[in-house]
Amino acid sequence: MIINIDKPIDWSSFDVVKKIRNITKHKKVGHGGTLDPFASGVLIIGTEIDTKTLTSISNSDKTYEAELELGRTTNTLDTEGSIVDEMQIPEIKSNILVSVLNSFLGSQKQQPPMYSAKKHKGTRLYKLARKNIEVDRKDVDININSIDLIDFNSKSIKFRVDCSKGTYVRVLGKDIAEKLGTVGYLTSLKRTKVGNYLVNDSISVESFQEKWISTEH
């Protein structure tokens, strides 16, 4: 079974997997691509034999809508962390902003953040980061297919990005802020698409549970 869940904010991807396992009593349950706890949106869950298709789903391109606050940044590059730097925000004009966003189009290398689930010698990076340990990370190849400005004001930017697997939108946000001459971190992130799966078709964990119980599995 493949389920398109709309992951709630403050849940880890594993929290959703655990909840679906409890609801369905299926032994094998997995997800097709991690979503940060502070983020919401499409999280594809697979159970039993359908867990085999999760790798190809995880490898799909993904679309996100993000809000980037300028002038301050956190150690996690999102709302989960502590403010570690503040900087003045230069005057932002839409033509400069669009030009900066467009500069990220195409193939490039990106360094994974310390606060991520990537492993270094078998240990998750975020576990090292919590102990204030920073290690060298290998850059990964990513591709930005499209990046569009949704809205902006003097302190924040909303943008939509369609990108390859392995892209950290938090790092992209940091890099956008730096190109604008300031610092920044993401205050919201919503994944609206994974491959052919859309957030408009996704279902909340509660609704899935109600449907599952009502069909008396």
Q: Are 163 and 143 in contact (CB under 8 A)?
A: yes
DSSP three-state, residue 206 = helix
When pLDDT is cut at 50, 70 and 90, the band that residue 77 belongs to is very high
Count of alpha carbons within 13 angstroms of residue 2, beta-carbon side: 16
Residue 216 has a pLDDT of 66
Query: Is the per-residue pLDDT at 138 higher than 70?
Result: yes
Active site residues: 36
Contacts of 87 (CB under 8 A, 6+ apart): 71, 72, 182, 183
Residue 125 has a pLDDT of 86
Write down all domains in the chain, each with its CATH number in brackets.
2-59+195-214 (3.30.2350.10), 62-194 (3.30.2350.10)
Residue 58 has a pLDDT of 96
Query: Is the per-residue pLDDT at 167 higher than 70?
Result: yes
**Among 33-42, 66-75, 127-136, 151-160, whose mean pLDDT is lowest?**
127-136
Residue 188 has a pLDDT of 98
* Average pLDDT of the chain to the nearest whole number: 95
Dihedral (C-alpha) 151, 7, 118, 156: value to the nearest 10 degrees?
20
pTM above 0.75, yes or no: yes
Return the percentage of the chain with pLDDT > 70, whole number: 99
The token pair at 191 is: 């994944």
When pLDDT is cut at 50, 70 and 90, the band that residue 217 belongs to is low
Mean pLDDT of 102-119: 93
